[in-house]
Amino acid sequence: MAYITRLPVRADTAAESPGLQPPSGAGHPGGGLAALVTSSGNVGSTTIHCPFDDSAIGELPLSSDDDVDEAFRVARAAQRDWAARPMSARAAVFRRFAELVLEERSALLDLIQRETGKARFSAFEEVADVSRWASYAAHKGPQHLREGRRNGAFPVLTRSTERFVPQGVVGIITPWNYPFTLPAGDAIPALLAGNAVVLKPDSQTPHTALFALELLRRAGLPEDLMQIVVGPGSRIGPAMIERADFMMFTGSTATGRSVAEGCASQLIGFSAELGGKNPMLVLADADVHRATAGAVNACFSNSGQLCISIERIYVHRDIWDDFVPAFLERVRAMRLAPGLGWDPDMGSLIGAAQLETVAAHVDNAITQGATVLAGGRPRPDLGPYFYEPTVLADVRPGMPVAREETFGPVVSLYRVDSEEEAIGAANDSEYGLNASVWSRRRGTAVARRLEAGTVNINEGYAAAWASHDSPMGGMKASGVGRRHGAEGFRKYTEPQTIAAQRLVPVGGQLGLGHRRWSEWLTAGVRILNRFS
């Protein structure tokens, strides 16, 4: 494999040290971000480490249960004034934020990489996505949230209006793999809908979320409206559920079930994007050149640490001999390295626990007879948590790598004899988050038969995710609710119906008596049934 072993300096900051210290100074995230944490400092602090070399990049105070309580109190007080602002004034904040994200892209890229160890291009996906989503929210979100007329019980006599009332204070819990996209992406629609937000980012990547909050405040978001608490999910999560009016969670299916149980006990709504074991189907008429290039990106972006990345590829036997060598050639040519330059194709895993899971899945598969076609080993010479992009064959159903989410740079190849076999194998999973179909003619027909919340044709994941006007989420054990589209905004509201009746009351009798009233109403219903 073509691995880069040095730590490159970015070409646009050649005078900058290649070390991994957090950026500081005016307009850049640094020590000042600690002040944005809602914390009294009574429960200690946490040190954040860079996955590239495990060096310390910052220290932040932890939040106590009392701090969580204070965060919700402050946010709730600010929410009332925010909800009373015109929608146009709220939307203007996110238009400014979208531009600030692009202006601060270098600082954001540096910080995202330092906290996650991902390659710079993978970090750039976050920056571009958040800017586009913020702009979409500012321009289209008000349309999704606008109150409107609905058909009343009786034409002319009944006027019915639906409006969308903010939930109040939304609790958001996000993971480490997309520390900018997920905190900002979930907060934006909740805030635009008139809510306040209390956010708990993952304890491994809190600086990026704090910088997002700094940019939102610079864009005009009221200071108290969004609060960030830092601490272990096992403690902070239940405390948030007890106080929130709605919960948004992204993470594992197991934890998602616990969140769902907590929300059920509080009788509050929740939405969750959970795990995935996402399939790619390469049909007999696929463009092999495009499919192999797309598969590399779909499997190994963000070092495979992506809920919607591909972990299973089903290749039709007619093009197996063309696809596999071409795919392996691309995988073996991938460039791995730490650092802030643009050259690497793949960076590090987030930490020791993720490295252990990836290695265990691969080692177990090898022990049970799987064949390693590419990769298959850690790379401590590059950094403590690097693992090679890995391609397996001869994977059988009983292996953990066959059915469990690896969440790393590992994909299994399966040869199939027919389109039917590919569809059946793809759907044979408890998960249903994302899928990919590669075909010149059969993509749409096959996509409609796949049990996944998003299906990409001749793309791995980005086409569906970046289609912000369409809903994104999972079927089966992959989640509840949706991001993006109208539902991505309206889920943060309580729909309210206001119906005004005039002249003839729907439930009254007008002195006609029960029988006469029922006859009159029967005639009216018959007329209405002809038209609706």
Beta-bridged to residue 162, according to DSSP, are 148, 497
Neighbours of 236 (CB within 10 A): 23
Beta-bridged to residue 197, according to DSSP, are 170, 226
278-473 belongs to CATH 3.30.360.10: no
Q: Three-state SS across 324-368?
A: HHHHHHHHHCCCECCCCCCCCCECCCCCHHHHHHHHHHHHHHHHC
User: Which residue in the list 307, 405, 459, 487 is annotated as catalytic?
Assistant: 307
- Read off the pLDDT of residues 208-236 as tens digits, 9 standing for 90 and up: 999 999 999 999 999 999 999 999 999 99
Percentage, residues of the chain above pLDDT 70: 94
**pTM for this one?**
0.94
Q: Give CATH for domain 37-274+486-490.
A: 3.40.605.10
Is 307 a catalytic site residue?
Answer: yes
435 phi, psi to nearest 5 deg: -150, 165
CATH 3.40.605.10 boundaries in the chain: 37-274+486-490
Residue 293 has pLDDT above 90, yes or no: yes
Q: How many whole angstroms separate alpha carbon 245 and alpha carbon 241? A: 8
pLDDT at 406: 98
pLDDT at 25: 37
Residue 1 has pLDDT above 50, yes or no: no
Nearest Cα residue to 173 out of 117, 240, 86, 220? 240
Report, as an integer, the average pLDDT of 87-102.
98
Q: How many whole angstroms separate alpha carbon 460 and alpha carbon 472? A: 14
Rg (CA), the chain: 26
Average pLDDT over all residues of the chain? 93
Q: Are 99 and 217 contacting, i.e. CB atoms less than 8 angstroms apart?
A: no
Long-range CB pairs of 512-520 (<8 Å, 24+ gap) are none
Q: Are 7 and 55 contacting, i.e. CB atoms less than 8 angstroms apart?
A: no
Nearest Cα residue to 241 out of 309, 173, 305? 173
CATH 3.40.309.10 boundaries in the chain: 278-473
Question: In which residue are the tokens 């089903």 written?
Answer: 314
The CA dihedral of 406, 408, 409, 410, to the nearest 10 degrees, is -10
Q: Are strands 169-173 and 196-200 parallel, antiparallel or unpaired?
A: parallel
Residue 27 has pLDDT above 50, yes or no: no
Is 273 a catalytic site residue?
Answer: yes
- Read off the pLDDT of residues 498-528 as tens digits, 9 standing for 90 and up: 999 988 888 776 778 888 888 888 998 999 9
Q: How remote is the C-alpha of 146 from its chain's centroid?
A: 25
User: Which residue in the list 273, 405, 459, 487 is annotated as catalytic?
Assistant: 273
The CA dihedral of 399, 401, 404, 410, to the nearest 10 degrees, is 180
- Read off the pLDDT of residues 249-281 as tens digits, 9 standing for 90 and up: 999 999 999 999 999 999 999 999 999 999 999
Q: Are 358 and 338 contacting, i.e. CB atoms less than 8 angstroms apart?
A: no
Beta-bridged to residue 271, according to DSSP, are 248
Q: How many whole angstroms separate alpha carbon 147 and alpha carbon 161? A: 7
